[in-house]
Amino acid sequence: MIGVTRGTLLLLLLLPHGIKGKLRSKDGEGPTVTIPDKPNIVLLVADDMGWGDLCSYGHPTQECGEIDKMAAEGMRFTQWYSADSLCSPSRAALLTGRLPVRVGVWGGERVFANDGSGGLPKNETTIAEALKDAGYATGMVGKWHLGINEFLPGDGRHLPHHHGFDFVGTNLPFTNHWACDESKVHMAHPNPMKCFLYWNTTLVQQPFRHDNLTASFLQDSIAFIHNNKDRPFFLYFSFAHMHTDMFSAPRFRETSRRDMEMDCVSWTGL
């Protein structure tokens, strides 16, 4: 199922796990339909991706990919709006199901800074916490941008594992900032204070390299799914695309008929 906004692409995959029961037609003919007890849930979020950027939503020149195939085989939504146009409040709403003003992530300073003390309030229940209570394994990879430290540098009290995620793989605790550009388009070199990569709570790159960033997210996601294949799981996969700084892996670079931005769409849509 795909939901679309002007600023965010949301893809929800429901994968069967346990079987609660079976249904047949009244006359006993036709195929048996299985009913999943607790379906596995994979939530994919693409940053700053417009609804019109995808082949499956009518883009006239964008190449079709696997995400368009899933849209054709699943349910495609045509009306859905993000709770905000900026990163932190829209993600706070997405993970809690509450408007940003309700969770305190609103106003002029509603984007959490890399050196600030703000973050998603811990008294807010996230979808990960709710599903964890229901017996799900919970995992997260990719962009977080809902706070890092609270009281001391390095305390990590706002990071994902404090909000219901058992497994946290490769992640951007802040964001993919334009100051992380490696092409020297925006600046001579990346700003390490805005460009850092974690694995769980451990700093692994500062500044980080873009070439294998999405591949690292994917590798950790596959490992999480494999390790939890015998139980229901919830995976939150948050792309660094399409937010500036723009980037794409070498095999997707200059493959679009248009520009770098559409190379990013191809990489996101695999």
- Sequence-separated contacts (24+) of 199-208 with Cβ below 8 Å: 199/169, 199/170, 199/171, 200/161, 200/168, 200/169, 200/171, 201/156, 201/159, 201/161, 201/168, 204/170, 207/180, 208/172, 208/180
Element holding 98 (H helix, E strand): none
Provide DSSP, 175-226.
---GGG-SSSSSSSS--TTT--EEETTEEEESSPPSTTHHHHHHHHHHHHHH
Provide DSSP, 151-169.
SSTT--TTSGGGGT-SEEE
Distance CA 94, CA 3 (A): 12
Catalytic positions are: 87, 145
Distance CA 24, CA 196 (A): 53
Is this prediction's pTM over 0.75? yes
Q: Are strands 40-47 and 137-143 parallel, antiparallel or unpaired?
A: unpaired
Distance CA 225, CA 136 (A): 12
Any idea what DSSP says for residue 70? H
Using DSSP, state whether 18 is helix, strand or coil.
Answer: coil
The per-residue pLDDT string of the chain (270 residues; one tens digit each, 9 = 90 and over) reads 444 443 455 666 666 665 455 545 455 565 665 667 899 999 999 887 777 778 888 888 877 888 888 888 888 888 878 899 899 999 999 999 999 999 999 988 889 999 999 999 999 999 999 999 999 999 999 999 999 999 999 999 999 999 999 999 999 999 988 888 887 777 889 999 999 999 999 999 999 988 889 899 999 999 999 999 999 999 999 998 776 656 666 666 666 666 555 555 554 545
Distance CA 3, CA 119 (A): 26
User: For residue 5, what pLDDT is reported?
Assistant: 42
User: For residue 2, what pLDDT is reported?
Assistant: 45
User: For residue 269, what pLDDT is reported?
Assistant: 47
